[in-house]
Structure formats: structure tokens, C-alpha cells
Copies of this chain bind each other. A is one copy, B any other.
Amino acid sequence: MSTVEKYTKILDNLKFDKMFQNDFLLTWEKTRDELEAVYTVADALRQLRENNISTRIFDSGLGISLFRDNSTRTRFSFASACNLLGLEVQDLDEGKSQVAHGETVRETANMISFMADIIGIRDDMYIGKGNAYMREVSQAVQDGYKDGVLEQRPTLVNLQCDIDHPTQSMADMLHLIHEFGGIENLKGKKIAMTWAYSPSYGKPLSVPQGIIGLMSRFGMDVVLAHPEGYEVMSDVEKVAQKNAAESGGSFKRTNSMEEAFKDADIVYPKSWAPFKAMEQRTELYGNGDMDGINKLEKELLAQNAQHKDWACTEQYMQLTKDKKALYMHCLPADITGVSCKEGEVDASVFDRYRTPLYKEASYKPYVIAAMMFLSKVKDPQKTLQDLENKANRRISG
């Protein structure tokens, strides 16, 4: 059997035609088939690359990256995905300035898109703004395409917003699929998405929200655990609730780390800021109230410090399934005694899981590439087969 036939056969049984010419903004806007299509194409692309077969579907074209804050990892993942498919990255650096609106967004979106096939946006700093901004850009380029300004319709990939972090959660999911030997094996597995102490402040909510919003799709028992006061967006909890009901899994929230870790197959302990505080901060920034921001940050650091017991210690790991739940993290983690005095995870736990953690991260470029691929290619099965048949070598010699 050919390298990609295994994957094209899976795709033949999935319905995902609406992904063509479409954005990827929230996992819960996608059907289960569409999510599986992403995993399948990601694996197929990786398989081809590992066999030194070129996966370029673009002879030329631009992938625009638009980041509101610095990000080495996401930047490299996006650049890698673009390169994998043959797009050149062009960065639009708008700085950390307040989000632009209306005319400016519409105009800029069109001005950068004359040769753009993909726009990747990371905008996670202000509650209520990031995802809304992406939709504004999307509408602008859709109009530009319709009006004949743009000769192609660039599609958007959400590289992290205030609500979801789909490229992270999808990469995490693909890691689980590989670790547990198939998507069907995830049914009934318990995953603990828990808050963890960090000496730094203001980590985004998009990871825990993305995880509970996605993992609840596959019949898993999803537990969200955090100290009181660290609630995530209630809308996303509702999404997780609904997903669990539909997929035959469960979703539960608790304020006990012990309860979450108890018999868990997978643990994902990670710091984040309380949703209410992030909302407050957005308002303070909006008013330019720097004194208020400084005061808020101090309060939140003090609040964090009351929960140093929320850490992924060896003791807590003992509570998990067979004492060896799969430990996950989006990286970088705050490792106790390594990157900080007291942090999210014991150094010995982190050390034991380093290789799986790196592998977890390694899926992100492929997941992003698969999202792009499915939004740009009309007949993915045929295109994958063509790539294999042509068999252009990625490296010669």
C-alpha cells in the first residue's frame, strides 16, 4: 500500500467539503468529521515529509502572520507550516497597540492580501476582542474577494485568541490519538485540565478553554479543576457541557486538584488568570488606567500565591491511573527549582515526560498545515495522492 492511501481512505469516509475556502477559528464550529480530517491530513503530510517527499502545494504565495505579542513557538510553528506547503511568511507587525477597528481593519486586511493565501492571527490579550478582530478581518477579505479586489480569498487560521487556541488543542489531541493508539481509544478516558500555580501573572485562558471545548468532543471524561475565583468563560463551559452530552462523555468542574487527578489517564496542569480579572484588565487598558493595571497585577500575584499547593507534584501523580497518567503541557512550563522556585510542576515529573512533551509540540506545525491544506485544496485525497506519485524529493542527494 502506498504511503498516503491509508489516509485517503479515512478521508473518503469523512464529510469536510465546507472547510474549503473557509477559516479555522473555533474547534466547536467544526464538525467531528472536519476535526478528524485535520488529524488525518496532518498525519499524511508528516508521513510524506518523513519519506523525503515534498508536500508543496504552492509554487508561490504568501502566508501572513499577524501577532499582537511576541511568540517564538507559535511563530515558528506557523512559519514551518507555511514552508511545508510552499508559502513564504510575511509578518505584519502592528505592535501591541490597541486593536484597530472598522475602516482601518477592512483596509489593512485587503492591502496585505493581494498575494495572501493564508492569514494567521494571534490576538489573545484582550477579552472580547481577539476573536472578534479575526472575524472582522475575515469579513473584509471575503468582501474584497467578492468585489474583485483580491483574486484569491485568503483563509484565516486562529493562532490563539481570547476564547480558543485551536492549533494548540488540536495538536494536543493529535498527540493523544497517537499515544492511545487511535481516536476511538479516547472514549471513556479521564483528562484533568487543572489550574497550577505560577509566579508569573496573566497567562491566557485560551488553553484551558480550548482543551475543555475540544476534548469533550470525543467521549472523554473531562474535568476542569481550579481554585475558587479562577473561573474560565462560562460560555465555553456550556460548550463543553453540550459536547460531552453529545459525545457520550462527561464534563465536570471542581475546586479540588485531588479529585481531578484521581484515576486520571491524562493530566494538563497549567496556570491561567481568572476570567473576571482579564475582563477587568481589558477595561483598564481601554481607559489607559495604568495605576489600575499595576494594582490589579499585584492583587492577582497575591491571589496566585495562596494556591502554591496547586502543583503537579510526584504526590499528586500517585493519584492518577496506575500512577502514570500522561502529563501534558503547551510549554514552556514553570518547573519548580528549574525555571522558578515554586511552579506548575515538579522537575522530576517534567523530566520523565520531556520526550512526550516535545512530541506533543511537534504536531503543531502539521496541524496548522492541515488546516491550511483543507481550506485551500478542493480534492485533498487526490492532491495527497498526486504528491506521493510525483514524489519530488524534499532534499536531493
> A residues engaging B (CB < 8 A)?
46, 49-50, 54-62, 72-73, 76-77, 79-80, 83-84, 86, 88-90, 92, 102-104, 107-108, 110-112, 114-115, 117, 144, 147-151, 331-332, 335, 338-339, 355, 358-359, 361-362, 364-365, 376-380, 382-383, 386-387, 392-397
Contact = CB atoms under 8 A, between A and B. Distances in A.
Contact of A107 (B332, B362, B365): B332
Given A57-B396, A111-B73, A115-B365, A79 B90 contact: yes
10 contacts: A54-B60, A59-B394, A59-B395, A60-B86, A61-B395, A88-B89, A114-B361, A114-B362, A117-B395, A147-B358
Given A103-B335, A115-B365, A117-B395, A108 B144 contact: no
Q: Taking chain A's interface residues, is the majority helix, strand, or loop, or is none over half, making it mixed?
A: mixed
A397 B59 contact: no
Contacts of A338: 102-103
Contacts of A50: 151
Contacts of A55: 60
A137 to B, nearest CB: 14
B59 A151 contact: no
Contacts of A112: 72, 76
A215 to B, nearest CB: 23
Which 4 residue pairs of A and B lie closest in terms of their CB atoms, listed nearest first? A383-B397, A377-B397, A80-B115, A149-B358
A361 B114 CA distance: 9
A175 B54 CA distance: 37
Given A102-B338, A377-B397, A62 B90 contact: no
A377 B77 CA distance: 25
A117 B49 CA distance: 13
A77 B114 CA distance: 8
A247 B263 CA distance: 68
A270 to B, nearest CB: 16
B111 A90 contact: no
A393 B332 CA distance: 40
Given A79-B90, A376-B397, 19 more contacts: A55-B60, A57-B395, A57-B396, A59-B392, A61-B395, A62-B80, A62-B83, A76-B92, A76-B112, A77-B114, A84-B115, A88-B88, A89-B90, A107-B332, A111-B358, A149-B355, A377-B395, A377-B397, A387-B396
Contacts of A358: 107, 110-111, 144, 147, 149
A378 B60 CA distance: 23
A312 to B, nearest CB: 16
